[in-house]
Structure formats: structure tokens, C-alpha cells
Chain A
Amino acid sequence: MKKSLFFGTLTAAGMVAGFAAAGTLEDVVARGELNCGVNTGLVGFAAPDANGNWSGFDVAICKAVAAAVLGDPNKVKYVPTSGQTRFTALASSEIDVLARNSTWTFTRDVDLKLDFVGVNYYDGQGFMVPKALGVSSAKELDGATICIQTGTTTELNLADFFKANNMTYSPIAIDSNAEGEQQYLAGACDAYTTDASGLAATRAAFATPSDHIILPEIISKEPLGPLVRHGDNQWGDIVRWTLNALIAAEEYGITSANLEELSKGSSNPEIDRLLGTSGDLGPMFGLDNLWAKRAIAASGNYGEIFAATIGESTPIGLARGLNAQWTQGGLLYTPPFR
């Protein structure tokens, strides 16, 4: 009796664990809310405003996925994650998708059992120093004290860069961007290193951004993108193609301004398939045919999101660079919607 009860409990626990691993789409629809892991606060990428509303480049991905799946871009619960907690949060199903300036690497993809669904920002690691330090190149940083976010790829790149250039440094491990900002401004470190986009975003939040420069060296490749748990391919496809839809929309000239007009039908069959006017792409992964239209309507196409959050007209002032469409000499290239 006791034994059977015990095994019954075991089986039930096992089944609960089994169910939790599959069917993220069903979970999200049943919950009516998307749990999206974001940065604890990086202006331009993911940061809450005074009223607690999140906005930013990574947040726009969360909104687009929520719009595609749930029909409402605001049905997102933002879960702030640190460099240390983000992958555990995703692996333990605390969040459905992680959009937090995370670098796509082999071990994360393969060994951590996560799936990167694409790249939303091609980045590289850089250094920021106060102008007063009189340094103009990262090669002059021999012996410097450097603040670094722990649990990130930047930690490893930094070690490699200094080793390769036969230089020494003393690392100061910090846990979040806010802490790094505080330590850097207090002068506890000579230089602050993270992804160049992160440096630009951090500098934009300083009282006097012009007192600090970002050194020209980019010491690594940091393809940043959203990721999901490995094993649920349907959910992975949804997030992947939502990101692709945003990029494709820019390529085909679909903007929030002309979205309604184009969705009535256009001369381009690819636009028609994307916006659900023809074909049945949506039902193939368990959504309706208007998923991409809603995703684009959430905050516009990739270019609009970029311009509104981190582009040249914002305080962060990042140029498109590698993140331009392939037609413009950039790396953004989405597979066809067919």
C-alpha cells in the first residue's frame, strides 16, 4: 500500500516534469501571458521606465512574440535576469523565452541544451575608459584594473585578449550593469568592458557621457539573440520566425504605417504570405494566419525598432553597421517565407 502510493507519487512527479518540458505554446496560451527574460536594466535594450513599463530593443522581441501568440503585445511578464541567473531561469521553465543580450556560443547552444533562434544584434566586445585617462587604444591598457560582468562571454574574451597581447590586468568581477556603472564611475576600475552596444547604452545613462570614450578595438564576435529551451521545436520555430518576420518586414518595406494597407493585398506574393493574405504559414506551427502581422504591428519592423530604441537618433546613438539588411551591406538575411 505504502509502496504503491510511493510509486504513484513518483510517477505523477515524473509526468509533471515530462509535461513541463513539452508544449511551451500550450503553456503560454493557457497562462495568457508570455514570461520573457530580460536584462535587469540596460537602457535601450531592456529597461523599465518610471511607471514600470518595459521598453527597449530586446523588449520589442518579447512584445512581438506575445502579439503573435496571444494577440496582445502587452501580455508579457518581464523577468529581470542577471548574467548569472538567465540560463538557469530558462532551463527551469521560469521563463519561456530569453531576450537578454546573450551571445550565441557553441557550449550554450549544445551543452546547456538551449536553442538560439537567431541573431537580433551583431555585436563585439569593447572597452570604455574615462577621457582623462589619456588612453586611445586597448593595447595601452597593460596593468589596468578592469570591471567585468561575471558569468558572461566577455570574461573569457578579456582573458584571451590580454594573454594574446602579453599584457596583464586585474579583473573586478561585478554582477550587474548597474553595479559596473557605479564601480566604474567611482574609479574602482580604469576601464569597463562589455559588448560595444552595452557600453554605448551605459554611457548614454551617465551624467556627462562626453567624458568617456569607447576604444576602437573590438576584441570578439558577439552575436546576440533570443533563445529558448532545447527540445520544443514548435516553440523554437515560433520565436525564430517571429524574429525573421520583423527582419523580413524591413526588407520588404512593411512598416507600421503601411501595414494595414499592405495586408489588404499587395503585388508581392511574399508580403502576402508573410501577412497572411494568402497561404497558410501560421497554422503550420499552431498559430493563425495573422501572427506575423500582429508581431509587426507590436512595435514596427526591425528597422523601426532599432531606430526607436538604440538608433542614431536616440541617446545611445548606435549606427546600423553590421546590423543593416544584406541589401545594404549588413548581415541581416532572413530565409524566405514560403
Chain B
Amino acid sequence: MAIATEPPKQGFRLSQLLYDTRYRSMTIQVVVMMMFMAFAAWLVDNTITNLAARGKDFNFGFLSVRSGYDIGQRLIAYDSDSTHARAMLVGLLNTLLVSFLGCLLAVAVGVTVGILRLSKNWLVARLMTIYVEVFRNVPVLLWILIFLAVLTEAAPLPNAFKEGGSASMLLFDSIAVTNRYTAVPDPLFSRSLGNIDIGIFLISSDLMALIAVVVAGWYARRLVLRRATAVQNATGERPVTWWKSVALLTLPAVLTLWALGFHLGYPSLQGFNFTGGINVSNAFMALWLALSLYTGAFIAEIVRAGVMAISNGQTEAAYALGLRPGRTMNLVILPQALRVIIPPLISQFLNLTKNSSLAIATGYLDLRGTLGGITLNQTGRELESVLLMMLIYLVLSLMISGVMNIYNASVKLKER
């Protein structure tokens, strides 16, 4: 007589989806996915329905139409006969310009303030605390408006710089701070290499040559330093390198500038405004300074936190080895602090880039001002413009994040 020994075979029951832990997580994921897709489908459908109800279509043809408006500050050639797409590009470059310069200044300010806040000098440390607390606790939009108002209301009119006027230029008559812009000298090359036309815009060959030479000098300096380290490892004596470094970093650039016939075009007052130099608009200055100082306050805290995260024992050990405070900071503390500092720094860079869209408050025409402002208004293509703008900011942020992640990977603690 055979006795059934195998366990009772039970088919799959629906309730298992809910009560069996093997399936439950799958069920939850499927439900969440379905809800998400339903929501996305509803959004798309709602958009299509409403566009149809208003009799509007969805196309990007407007980008190739003549824009018809002028842009005050631009990095590439543009006039009112250019297309909306080019206006968008001008705006994008303006966004990149203010973001890039903003990040540079913010890091410079942030690192300085963050380290000074740790100073043993009571007054300096307190002053830096005040700066940090004041800047990071007031909305950045207000800072932008305050800077703009100060520049607009306090600086003299351009025509006050006339002969016998009340205002005078700074630095041997080369810089004029007015209530519209700051006129600065224009770098000119008498033996210019011309421009490279890459189809969309022109790139100055002089600038490219200069960058190439500086990068080459930088690379040469690295070789010198590496050799010095090799010598030091072999003999225990580090050869003197500072003058080689200075020469490699500066001489090539100076020689190139001389070869290209570098000189400055000084601004002078012609009619209503300064011409002959570069007029950096107050809108840009206000935006740049406000964004930099605001973000700099956050970076200062990040730097301070990074430095404080390194145990004091490290400093004491470095001192015990006979390292001076400066070298202790550069060789022991900062390399370790950087891996704490970089990740939050990335998000500050992203914040600054996105905050640059507040340019709309100053009239500085960035991507938000051109594509998301005037183009959107003049063409009435709200949905297309805003979606395109979102996409561009997204790509921009992902690129910054990608580059910074590469840098982070190179400075982070190497674990084996």
C-alpha cells in the first residue's frame, strides 16, 4: 500500500501575491509602476486634450523663425534678424557664462571664508561667521535685487564722466563704474590669428592659442614636479622648483600675448554711452556677485565642515614630523578634507547654475530670459519653450554633475 509521501502540491493562489513574502514585493512594484504610468498617461492625455480644445498644435518650427528682438549682452553674433534658436543659444551661453564665473568666484570666496572662519583670530572668525549667516539666510533673489539697486542707484550716470563731470574713471582711466554697466578695457590683438568658424559661431584663435599654451605650460610644470619628487625619493633632497613653476606658468602666456600683439582698447565716452571697451552690464554684475556670495556662504560651511572632519591628531602628527602649518594644510588636511567637501560642492554648483535663472529679475537675458521669456511671449509657444528649457537645464546639470563626479573619483579615498 503506497502512502503519499510527497508534500501536498498546491497551485498558485492569487492571495499569495499579497500574503506571500516571495511575491509581495513584486506586487507592490507592479502596482506602483502602473500608478506611475497611469499618472504619466493622464498628464499627456490632459495636455493633448487641452491643446486640442484651444486649437493649438505642438511643434518646434518657431525656433527657425526670425526672432525680431535684440539682446543687450551677447557672446556670439546676434541681431534681430537671427532666429529664435540662435536667441536661445545666446541665452544659453549667457547662462553658462554667469554660472561658470559664479562657480569660480563662489569657490574662491567659500574656501577663503571657510578656512578663515576656523582662524584663531577672534575678530576674523566672527566677521566670517556674520558673512556666512547673513548671506545664506536671506533669499538669493533679494540679494540679486539689492545688488542691482545699489549699482543702479549709487553709481554715477555715464554722462557724469564727461569733461568736468562729477565722476572719474578708476585705474588710470581704464575702468568706469556707471549705473548701467561697468566699462572695462577690451583685450585686442594687433597680430591676430583671426577666428575659427565652427558653423554656429566664431571662436577666437587667439584665445585658443593662449589656452593651449597655458595648458602646455601647466603640463610641463607637472613633469618638473614629478621629476623633483623622483629626485627627492632617490636622494632625500628636493630640488628647488618654485622658479621653474612660476616661469612655466607665466612665461609662455606672456610670450604668446607679446607675439600676438596684445594691447587693451580703453573705453571712452561717445554720445550716450562708453564705447571702445567692454560694457559689463549691471544686471550681469548684480547677478554674478549675488549668486557667488550667496553660494560662497554655503561653500564656506562645507569647507569648514570638511576641514573639521579631519581629526586633530593628523595636524599634531604633521607638526610632530616638522611640517609647517601651511604645508600641513596643503599636504595633510586638504587632500583628506576634499573627499568630504566635493560631493556637497557638486550640489552647490548645480544650485548656482539653476539659480542663475533668477536673471529674469535683473533683465540679464539668459536662457530663461530669451527662450523662456521673450521667445515664449512673442511666439506664444509656452509648452514647447518650457519643455525645451527644462531639458536644457537638465542636460546642463547632468553634465556638471558628471564632470564633478569624475573629479570626485580622482580625489576620493582609494580603497583596496
Residue positions of A touching B, CB distance < 8 A: 2, 6, 9-10, 13-14, 17-18, 20-21, 83-84, 87-88, 91, 107-108, 111-113, 141-145, 150-151, 155-156, 158-160, 162-163, 169-175, 183, 186-190, 229-231
Q: Is B153 an interface residue (CB 8 A)?
A: yes
| With known contacts A143-B273, A231-B55, A171–B80 Cβ distance under 8 A | no
Tally of chain B residues near chain A (CB < 8 A): 45
CB distance from A325 to the nearest CB of B (A): 34
Instruction: Select the stretch in B45-53, B200-208, B222-230, B310-318 that faces chain A.
Output: B45-53
B55–A230 touching, CB < 8 Å:
yes
Complex Cα spacing A6 to B382, Å: 28
B72–A150 touching, CB < 8 Å:
no
List 17 contacting pairs A-B, 8 Å CB cutoff, sorted by A: A10-B42, A17-B50, A83-B377, A87-B377, A107-B379, A108-B380, A141-B272, A143-B275, A145-B273, A151-B373, A156-B68, A170-B273, A170-B279, A172-B283, A173-B365, A186-B152, A188-B282
A150–B377 touching, CB < 8 Å:
yes
Chain A to chain B: the 7 pairs with minimum beta-carbon distance, closest first: A151-B377, A159-B80, A112-B380, A173-B363, A156-B68, A21-B53, A144-B272
Complex Cα spacing A58 to B19, Å: 67
- Interface residues in B30-53 by Cβ distance below 8 A to A read 34, 38, 41-42, 45-46, 49-50, 53
Complex Cα spacing A145 to B180, Å: 9
CB distance from A184 to the nearest CB of B (A): 11
B45–A186 touching, CB < 8 Å:
no
Contact of B56 among A14, A107, A113 (CB under 8 A): A113
Q: Is B271 an interface residue (CB 8 A)?
A: yes
B374–A155 touching, CB < 8 Å:
yes
B363–A174 touching, CB < 8 Å:
yes
Complex Cα spacing A175 to B377, Å: 12
Q: Is B9 an interface residue (CB 8 A)?
A: no
B residues near A141, Cβ cutoff 8 Å: 272
B382–A186 touching, CB < 8 Å:
no
Residue positions of B touching A, CB distance < 8 A: 34, 38, 41-42, 45-46, 49-50, 53-56, 68-72, 79-81, 152-153, 157, 179-180, 270-273, 275, 279, 282-283, 360, 363, 365, 369, 373-374, 376-380, 382
A188–B42 touching, CB < 8 Å:
no
A143–B69 touching, CB < 8 Å:
no
B272–A163 touching, CB < 8 Å:
no
B271–A188 touching, CB < 8 Å:
no
Closest A residue, CB atoms, query B153: A186
A residues near B68, Cβ cutoff 8 Å: 155-156, 159-160
Complex Cα spacing A216 to B41, Å: 57
Closest B residue, CB atoms, query A87: B380
Complex Cα spacing A172 to B365, Å: 9
A188–B378 touching, CB < 8 Å:
no
Contact of B70 among A6, A171, A229 (CB under 8 A): A171
CB distance from B77 to the nearest CB of A (A): 14
| With known contacts A113-B55, A188-B179, A159–B377 Cβ distance under 8 A | no
| With known contacts A87-B380, A112-B380, A173-B369, A150–B374 Cβ distance under 8 A | yes
A145–B272 touching, CB < 8 Å:
yes
Complex Cα spacing A73 to B344, Å: 58
Complex Cα spacing A252 to B360, Å: 49
A13–B46 touching, CB < 8 Å:
yes
